[in-house]
Amino acid sequence: MRPNPPTLRTFAAILALTLAAASELHAADNKACEPAVVLDAEAEKQAIRDVISRMEAAWNRGDFRGYMQGFANPDVVFVSRGEFQKDWQGTLDHYIRDYGSSAESRGTLHFFDIKIEMLGPDAAQLISRYQLNRPQKPQDGINTRLLRKRDGQWIIALNHVSSRELP
């Protein structure tokens, strides 16, 4: 006995609807497992600018430890003068040794032309210019920084400085 053609059509329609419903349920289950992350890019960029502003203020008052609070501790990767600095403590030691003997040797630091690109909810790229004004060996340069958000705070995980002494 041959099946009635309307019966085959009915079976095919029920099968198609069942597969479609199963597919939608599977997609809904997968979305339920994904964390709901809403990124307010402008708020995150402002939080990053605030970190840079606090670092600048700390430098200018001679607080190198305060300046270093903007960097990942102990695992910052810091490249300057064509060399890797030795972790967070090594970078702090470098600043104290090379800039910290007086307000004149430390100079006044200013970051500007700050450009921030959000790479994700916990990662951002920052490129900025800076000037270090001081009587001997004033500098200007560019910082390229990878920031990571850890425990709700933005910190610099990778810092690359390209600088030059001004005449």
**Tokens (6 digits) for 51:** 């970190």
Q: What is residue 60's predicted lDDT score, i.e. its pLDDT?
A: 97
DSSP state of 36: -
Judged against a pLDDT cut of 50, whether residue 15 lies above it is answered with no
Q: Is the pLDDT of residue 110 over 50?
A: yes
Average pLDDT over residues 98-114: 94
Class of domain 41-165: alpha beta
Q: Is the pLDDT of residue 156 over 80?
A: yes
The residues spanned by each domain of the chain are: 1-31, 41-165
Please check whether residue 124 is in contact with residue 88, taking contact to mean a CB–CB distance below 8 angstroms. Answer: no
Distance separating alpha carbons of residues 119 and 24, to the nearest angstrom: 30
Task: Tokens 């959000």: give the residue.
Answer: 118
CA dist 138 and 56 (Å) reads: 16
> Which residues does 73 contact at the CB level (< 8 Å), separation at least 6?
88, 155
Q: What is this structure's pTM?
A: 0.76
Average pLDDT over residues 17-27: 57
* Residue 5, pLDDT above cutoff 80: no
Q: What is the mean pLDDT of residues 123-139?
A: 96
For range 136-161, the mean pLDDT: 96
Q: Is the pLDDT of residue 10 over 70?
A: no
